[in-house]
Structure 1
């Protein structure tokens, strides 16, 4: 049996018995106007609206769409809405389990459906980044000949994970993470809607707030947790979903943490101070509290990057690249997998040798500048790449260090008022011991007077 027949049968069962479907499926938007979030994609006249035939001229644009965004932001939903709005068959495949054989079966079925009874097909291919180049190449004839409307979803940057021929033939739409207000609106709709819980149970504010933290911007996760908690509350004969019932149902305690209040800053401060103090276990504890409370992983990654320079610096020059790499990875993958990356970086920073010399060095230099201790740039260091510079004495007498055997020239670099100032005071912790030796050697060979 072809994969599209399975999909058609599932859709038919859902329409006949919607109550038997999961809440996340029942609440799946049927039109673009029901989609939560992604307002930048849903404006009147947008490419997405033209794709479903809204606006002057009817459907327009390419027959291939790539949806790029974090999990739970509505990629499958948008593909489903497009199929419904354009009255096309909806076929879903996952690149994790499907291969070229399954894709070709769907394409062959789509061609027969179009020729047999004029029904076009939307092929939704989830996680296209998991397809190899050869597998992605197999999609090109169907896209070029418009045998299917291909809607591919990816959580990874398509410029790195999708082949150029397919990318150039596709409309690329970037989905943003859902906000708490987006998910809150979806939960409240699910509580009251005829397709949802039909006001069978209430959701108090404290329970709703914890549910939002659990969801982490993932609409599917939010609705799944709501359905489970509502079922548990009704089984107990409760009229509302208590915080205790939600905690028992999803097996996650409500963390005392206000992302906009004192707890946000207190726990973040404790994380950084634990890293600075080299207590890896305490640092992991505070990291876990932030993750469990639904903190923005990008905020955590930014704090780690700051700590890498502020507290570790040259004692371990690898600390900053690790923190930067973690921030880039977090931005690409999001939670829950981003927890692993943040743990990786936190452990590396906590156990790294510590030095705040970069912090104190720039602090001292800035203090002098703010006091007005600047002075003119020495003439031999000034720009000499213009006519008349030599007459002014600019760049005259400058010694090019690369011409010397030791690669360092005894000449003045700082302004006169600061020529003997020393801002950088290295430690001998970790790799900075090498810099301590280097700075002593260079200052001696520059002919600097010792302070």
Structure 2
């Protein structure tokens, strides 16, 4: 049996990580203490304890336990479980664990809704995808969503040490492992405890017996395995969009180091197009009028990146990222168009002033189009006061200069013209 299965925790105190929901006075522990289990959806990346916690709950609950995996189960499998309701051993109801529930279609998910509502079935479902996108809303409304997070390095190290301790109790050949090797395993796991245990198991099989019949594992042993660092990335999933969000917010927050870090994680996923699109929008949304030339620089970097491809593209994208993160910030352009769009969508629009209408066709003057228009270039400073907005919008102000050098100069210029 693989170590990850053989030494899967059987009590909640042995679960590593998830300290926000597992631990003294935390929600999972309180449920176990009170033997009260509502419908729950466990959401998070692979190898972080979703199945483990579900199986621990199943051993404590007084309900009859069934487990299915939605990737290889069908509606018939669900119907067979539903038929068990009221049979021997189900007096207290059924606890149904559905792994990878996102693989079930709407009809399959709906098939258990009636029994969840009646309490005949208590559902625990797990998914690596955002449940708010993939789980039927009626089930969501009757369940508690709990997020399981990638396990921190310090918790991975603790988990490895626990596994080794249990292994040495069960086996004559004891494992001796140095701290550097444990650190290497933890780094390569990518926050996935199962991945860490699998690497440890490979290391045990790779290690040679010493004269005392024990297995010594050091960092060289692990490095000989040539194990690539696990990386959890999905170009259409939450991790991808969360990274893009962190990337933009770090640039907006003028933190070049954090911005380059998230850029590196996005580059690891290989999605150049999303990175380039996000950089281009940041240049106008977050830097904008504080440094209008930023978009010119970013556009040149983005074009270069698309021509170069990876790995060279990383260099010019890093330049664009640092330029944006270290530039002064203004969202005045972003706010201006949002205000204008809101008015367009919510306010009845008066007609365009007649003098602004197109007059480049025969008969335009008969309709009054273009009559009275004053050509600004014919006046001092290329300016003459005219009302350009429709009559009912003339009090609106969409562009509001912000406090930075470039926009301060714009404000002075416009104020001077209007005087």
Q: TM-score scaled by structure 1?
A: 0.54
Q: State the partner residue of 1:66.
A: 41
- Deviation of 1:239 after TM superposition, in Å, equals 3.0
Rounded to whole Å, the distance in 2 between the matches of 1:363 and 1:51 is 48
* 1:225-264 equivalence runs, <5 A: 225-234=199-208, 239-252=215-228
**TM-superposition CA deviations, 1:46-72 (whole Å, max 9, x none):** 4433433x14xxx3352x111112221
Unaligned runs of 5+ in 2: 231-255, 270-274, 301-308, 331-384
1:180 to 126, 143, 153: 153
Q: State the partner residue of 2:185.
A: 211
Answering whether residue 189 of structure 2 is matched by residue 202 of structure 1, we say no
- Deviation of 1:80 after TM superposition, in Å, equals 0.3
Rounded to whole Å, the distance in 1 between the matches of 2:86 and 2:97 is 16
Q: State the partner residue of 1:85.
A: 60
**TM-superposition CA deviations, 1:272-323 (whole Å, max 9, x none):** 59x9xxxxxxx89x955xx9xxxxxxxxx9xx8699648994238899xxxx
Structure 1 residues 23 and 162, CA gap change in structure 2 (3 angstroms) = same
Q: State the partner residue of 1:112.
A: 87
Unaligned runs of 5+ in 1: 1-20, 255-267, 276-282, 292-300, 320-342, 365-397, 426-438
Q: State the partner residue of 2:22.
A: 42
Structure 1 residues 157 and 360, CA gap change in structure 2 (3 angstroms) = closer
Answering whether residue 132 of structure 2 is matched by residue 159 of structure 1, we say yes
**TM-superposition CA deviations, 1:190-249 (whole Å, max 9, x none):** 001158765721121111111001111111111111112112214687731122322233
Rounded to whole Å, the distance in 1 between the matches of 2:177 and 2:95 is 37
Rounded to whole Å, the distance in 2 between the matches of 1:413 and 1:86 is 61
Q: TM-score scaled by structure 2?
A: 0.58
Q: State the partner residue of 1:146.
A: 119
Structure 1 residues 272 and 76, CA gap change in structure 2 (3 angstroms) = closer
Answering whether residue 166 of structure 2 is matched by residue 193 of structure 1, we say yes
Structure 1 residues 318 and 81, CA gap change in structure 2 (3 angstroms) = farther
- Deviation of 1:356 after TM superposition, in Å, equals 8.8
Q: State the partner residue of 1:395.
A: none
- Deviation of 1:75 after TM superposition, in Å, equals 0.4
Structure 1 residues 355 and 174, CA gap change in structure 2 (3 angstroms) = closer
**TM-superposition CA deviations, 1:110-156 (whole Å, max 9, x none):** 553435xx585432211212322222111212312333331101222
Q: State the partner residue of 2:13.
A: 33
Is residue 279–residue 321 contact of structure 2 (8 Å, CA) maintained in 1? no
Structure 1 residues 422 and 175, CA gap change in structure 2 (3 angstroms) = closer
Is residue 151–residue 192 contact of structure 2 (8 Å, CA) maintained in 1? yes
Secondary structure, in 3 states, of the residue corresponding to 1:226? helix
User: RMSD value over aligned CA atoms?
Assistant: 5.1
**Range that drifts further, 138-147 or 177-186:** 138-147
Rounded to whole Å, the distance in 2 between the matches of 1:414 and 1:151 is 53
Q: State the partner residue of 2:368.
A: none
